[in-house]
């Protein structure tokens, strides 16, 4: 039996990961949980899974938890959450933002398997995380459905045989809309994703196509492929999760119903495939699968992500930090939907690059992006 730490246990991915652990209880023992705030949900998770230790980012919440569970080992703050990075055989990281970087580094430096769903860590600090993973013999398995699909399609194939990666995108709630429409978009409209149920930040990223831009940067980090070999393909049904095109012209795709539990379970059990609670895909019921090119003109965030990837260095970290701030401002009603890419473009114009950034360079770039 392997031990499992779920960092971000009350979020969408964290809840799905615990559902996977629930169905594979003969395989995994939940050793540690981490979340941002005290809530009835974290209490329910503690009662069901009986973890050895729990971390809460909010110190006041940690005090509440200690009162509710007197014998439980509880830590708090960013350091407390980060400390769980090396607390189990498998660490699933699913927090939002660069705050997960310390947890990721601790996991790989301890030689653990890191099942990662936190885009921002790989976008801003991916080069550093993978460098440390190679040094310490750690495994990094992607949890995003798109990167999991590519990972699966590449099994048994050498990277030298890859011509390009094709990352699919649903197109979000505003597929086909023009700038006149997008200028008037409200936060409520941006949060209404047509396929996936996600948190507010990632839902807005999907609506602006920044989510797909971040995934392009992630794919470059994970699979050591340059921007020129990564394309985005609009696929509204979200059945084909991504494809790999090989140099002989063959394309391999991974298909399944849109359910994150499948990618999560694969990351936890790789290279084995275990029975899962996910519904079976019936293509005869789906009937038709559609594909198209992304609209880079009306959704400029995708192009900005490609630009940041090509420039390299600290540009992805600046882009990510600026995007987090812009999305927060939009959700608060402090700026418009199309102000997000305008804000990002200005930040990139003001950035002085640092090649091969160290941890302190990444953190400073993130701070500058948010400024």
Contact 46, 33 (CB under 8 A): yes
- What top-level class would CATH report for the domain 147-370? mainly alpha
* Neighbouring residues of 132: CB distance < 8 A, sequence distance ≥ 6: 105, 108, 109, 138
Cα(47)–Cα(129) distance, rounded to whole angstroms?
A: 33
Q: Which of 74, 72, 7, 16 is nearest to 261 (CA)?
A: 16
DSSP string of 106-156, one letter each residue: HHHHTT-EEEE--HHHHHHHHHHHHHHHHHHT-EEEE-SHHHHHHHHHTTT
Q: Side by side, which strands form the sheet with 251-255? A: 230-234, 162-169, 240-246, 251-255
For residue 110, give both structure tokens. 């301890």
- pTM of the full predicted structure? 0.92
pLDDT in tens, the chain (371 residues): 999 999 999 999 999 999 999 999 999 999 999 999 999 999 999 999 999 999 999 999 999 999 999 989 999 998 989 999 999 999 999 998 788 999 999 999 999 999 999 988 999 999 899 999 999 999 999 999 999 999 999 998 888 899 999 999 999 899 999 999 999 999 999 998 766 667 788 899 999 999 999 999 999 999 999 999 999 999 999 999 999 999 999 999 999 999 999 999 999 999 999 999 899 999 999 999 999 999 999 999 999 999 999 999 999 999 999 999 999 999 999 999 999 999 999 999 999 999 889 899 999 999 999 99
Q: Where in the chain is the domain with CATH 1.10.1740.10?
A: 147-370
- What top-level class would CATH report for the domain 2-142? alpha beta
Nearest 5 degrees, angle CA 100-CA 14-CA 35?
55
Contact 1, 28 (CB under 8 A): yes
Please give the span between the terminal C-alpha atoms of the chain, in angstroms, as a whole number.
46
Q: Which of 200, 206, 208 is nearest to 179 (CA)?
A: 208
Q: Tell me: the pLDDT tens digits for 41-78?
A: 999 999 999 999 999 999 999 999 999 999 899 999 98
Q: Where in the chain is the domain with CATH 3.40.50.720?
A: 2-142
Secondary structure of residue 242 in the 3-state scheme: strand
């Amino acid at each position: 039996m392997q031990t499992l730490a779920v960092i971000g246990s009350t979020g969408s991915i964290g809840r799905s990961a615990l559902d996977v652990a629930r169905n594979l209880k003969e395989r995994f023992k939940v050793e540690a949980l981490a979340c941002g705030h005290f809530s009835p949900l974290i209490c329910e998770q503690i009662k069901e899974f009986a973890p050895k230790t729990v971390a809460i980012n909010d110190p006041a919440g940690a005090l509440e938890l200690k009162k509710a569970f007197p014998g439980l080992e509880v830590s708090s703050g960013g350091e407390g959450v980060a400390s769980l990075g090396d607390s189990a055989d498998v660490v699933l990281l699913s927090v939002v933002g660069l705050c997960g970087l310390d947890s990721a580094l601790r996991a790989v430096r301890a030689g653990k398997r890191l099942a990662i769903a936190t885009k921002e860590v790989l976008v801003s600090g991916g080069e550093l995380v993978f460098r440390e993973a190679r040094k310490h013999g750690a495994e990094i398995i992607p949890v995003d459905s798109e990167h999991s699909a590519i990972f699966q399609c590449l099994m048994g194939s050498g990277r030298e045989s890859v011509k390009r990666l094709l990352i699919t995108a649903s197109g979000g709630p505003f597929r086909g809309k023009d700038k006149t429409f997008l200028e008037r978009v409200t936060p409520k409209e941006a949060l209404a994703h047509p396929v996936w149920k996600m948190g507010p930040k990632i839902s807005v990223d999907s609506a602006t196509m920044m989510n797909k831009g971040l995934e392009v940067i992630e794919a470059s980090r994970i699979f050591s492929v340059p921007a020129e070999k990564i394309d985005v393909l609009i696929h509204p049904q979200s059945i084909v999760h991504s494809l790999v095109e090989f140099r002989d012209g063959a394309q391999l795709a991974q298909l399944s119903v849109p359910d994150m539990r499948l990618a999560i379970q694969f990351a936890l059990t790789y290279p084995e495939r275990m029975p899962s609670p996910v519904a079976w895909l019936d293509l005869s019921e789906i009937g038709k699968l559609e594909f198209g090119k992304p609209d880079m003109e009306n959704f400029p965030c995708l192009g900005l992500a490609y630009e940041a990837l090509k420039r390299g260095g600290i540009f992805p970290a600046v882009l990510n930090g600026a995007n987090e701030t812009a999305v927060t401002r939009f959700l608060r009603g402090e700026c418009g939907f199309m102000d997000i890419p305008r804000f990002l473009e200005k930040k990139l114009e003001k950035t002085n690059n640092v090649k091969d950034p160290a941890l302190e360079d990444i953190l400073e770039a993130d701070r500058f992006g948010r400024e």
